[in-house]
Amino acid sequence: MKVKKIILAMVVSSISTGLVVGCAPSASSTDVIIYTEERVSEIKKDLSEKISESIEDSGLRVAEALPDGSFVLSLGNLEYSKEQPKQVLNYSMTTDDKKSKETLAIHCVKDYFDDEKLSESDKFIKAIYNIFKSLTDTKLTEKDFFDEVEKVFEKGEGNVELPSMGEICVQVSKIDKSTKILELRLNKEFILK
């Protein structure tokens, strides 16, 4: 647990890779919230704890931390092997050059074969449910979440529509004839005082 928190804390200060486009941002309020650096620091600490718990509670662990600020998540085996499907979590919070805003980027993605069926025991789906739940006030059960993801997954691609999504996007996309991806993304800006 401590190793995961340390890795997550290091990623907070890393530079984010660009997010894949697809989900349109939800309509946001015209009210702009201004944050102090102290408040953003509290948010970073809280998010590190929530994401670390989400990984642990789903039965995954960090197998490899990459220089771009992403992780390869293990299915829980003692050794990472090439046979495991790639499951990546990218989590960062970066400050712009003018130090006027910080941008939070969370991106979780896993590749699946196009003809593959989803399983309720899939630890990646459990991880994105746990992350979704920790970032929202959802009352959705893990089973309800899985059912909604499975509907879109069976169609082959599209956005998963869930209550209380806010700025979170859950999406299935085809990347070639034989592969599709399931991903959860969040990109949020914090305007600084």
DSSP-assigned letters across all residues of 72-101: EEE-S-SS--TTSPPEEEEEEEEE-TTSSE
For residue 50, what pLDDT is reported?
85
User: Phi/psi class of residue 42: alpha, beta or left (left: φ > 0; alpha: ψ in -120 to 50)?
Assistant: alpha
For residue 82, what pLDDT is reported?
55
CA dihedral over 97, 108, 19, 141, signed as positive or negative:
negative
For residue 5, what pLDDT is reported?
36
Q: Where are the alpha helices (DSSP H) in the chain?
A: 2-12, 37-57, 123-135, 142-155
For residue 125, what pLDDT is reported?
93
Could you state, in chain order, the average pLDDT of each consecutive group of 10 residues for the chain (193 residues)? 36 32 53 84 83 84 65 55 63 82 87 92 91 90 96 95 90 92 91 89
CA separation for the pair 165, 157 (Å, rounded)? 18
Which run of H or E residues covers position 172?
A: strand 168-176
